[in-house]
Amino acid sequence: MDWTPRFEAETRSVSFYVVVRGKRVKSFVTRDWLVSRFGPEVPADQGMVEVYLHHAKAIDSEIIRRIASGRIEPVWLASCLPPLA
């Protein structure tokens, strides 16, 4: 399986995996969340992956924090959840 972060057009988010206690946890981050943390220059397409990679340590830490507080997989970082088709 390919664990590489990728842009998901359907949800307009970046999907990625974070290893927590030896288990890969599927996670997503939306553009709205990225903009709220890193500014309005975040692209609305595949360029979001580069933003994720640049800030991966901080984003992954937020995922780990949310799992520790009881969130279950998949974990979303989103200002609001995107509509699904």
pTM score: 0.88
Q: Please report which confidence band the pLDDT of residue 77 belongs to, taking 50, 70 and 90 as the band edges.
A: very high
d(CA 58, CA 79): 17
Q: Is the pLDDT of residue 45 over 60?
A: yes
Instruction: Report, as an integer, the average pLDDT of 27-40.
Output: 94
Is residue 85 over pLDDT 70?
no
Is residue 54 exposed (0-12), middle (13-18) or buried (19+ Cβ within 10 Å)? exposed
